């Protein structure tokens, strides 16, 4: 198994992921020298280590998703999207939504409910999306995933996210609503 630690800049994340490395840890504190979060990646060199790597990566994604609105609130959303990217191997995450959450998601996706009325269910749906891999995960553009992370999982305001992505809040709201509808359809809700 090969491993490396680096600072969480977009270009570095892209380099390591492109070369078959998998993120397994992100520091909860920013590096004093770089101002970035340090990330540890590894590359399994045989099948036995690959299975262990998958489990470690799965746990990494779970920890990162749960800490986005807190510890990693200021993590650049495009970096977070890259760290949570789909892997080639198949991982199907179980979609556990209450009947109320399903109903509110469907109402939100059809435009009959505001985001705030379904945000708990949207967060749960996105966590399921980001935990999945392989054919069990819908292909989404990294910038779209970054917008969903920033607004829904990091709980940044519509205005803040719109400014960061150089769009209007109304356009961002429409894009999030449309994306949630497509994700719901993909996962069969």
Q: What is the average per-residue pLDDT within 134-140?
A: 91
113 pLDDT band, cuts 50/70/90, is very high
Count of residues making up the chain: 189
152 has pLDDT over 60: yes
- Higher pLDDT: 147 or 7? It is 147
Determine the pLDDT at residue 72: 95
155 has pLDDT over 80: yes
Determine the pLDDT at residue 3: 46
Determine the pLDDT at residue 89: 82
Q: Which helix (H) or strand (E) holds 52?
A: helix 47-67
Cα distances (angstroms) measured from residue 20 to each of 15, 42, 74: 9, 8, 26
Per-residue pLDDT tens over the stretch 75-109 = 999 999 999 998 888 788 887 899 999 999 999 99
Give the C-alpha separation, 144 to 155, whole Å.
15
Per-residue pLDDT tens over the stretch 55-76 = 999 999 999 999 999 999 999 9
Task: Residue 40: name the closest of 72, 86, 83 by CA.
Answer: 83
Per-residue pLDDT tens over the stretch 161-178 = 999 999 999 999 999 999
Determine the pLDDT at residue 8: 54
Return the C-alpha torsion angle 29, 42, 125, 177, nearest 10.
80
What token pair was written down for 139? 């292909």
5 has pLDDT over 80: no
Per-residue pLDDT tens over the stretch 16-70 = 888 889 999 999 998 888 788 889 999 888 888 888 988 999 999 999 999 999 9
């Amino acid at each position: 198994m090969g491993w490396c630690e680096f600072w969480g800049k977009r270009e570095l994340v892209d380099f390591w992921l492109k070369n078959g490395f998998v993120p397994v840890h992100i520091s909860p504190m920013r590096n004093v020298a770089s101002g970035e979060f340090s990330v540890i990646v590894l590359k399994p060199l045989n099948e036995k280590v690959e299975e262990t790597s998958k489990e470690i990566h799965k746990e990494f994604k779970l920890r990162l998703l749960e800490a986005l609105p807190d510890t990693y609130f200021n993590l650049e959303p495009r970096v977070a999207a890259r760290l949570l990217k789909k892997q080639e191997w198949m991982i199907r995450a179980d979609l556990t939504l209450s009947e109320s959450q399903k109903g509110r998601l469907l109402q939100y996706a059809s435009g009959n409910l505001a985001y705030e009325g379904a945000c708990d269910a949207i967060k749960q749906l996105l966590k399921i999306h980001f935990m999945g891999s392989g054919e069990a995960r819908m292909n989404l553009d990294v910038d779209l995933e970054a917008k969903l992370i920033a607004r829904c999982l990091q709980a940044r305001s519509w205005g803040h996210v719109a400014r960061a992505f150089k769009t209007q809040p109304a356009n961002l709201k429409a894009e999030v609503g449309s994306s949630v509808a497509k994700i719901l359809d993909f996962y069969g809700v």
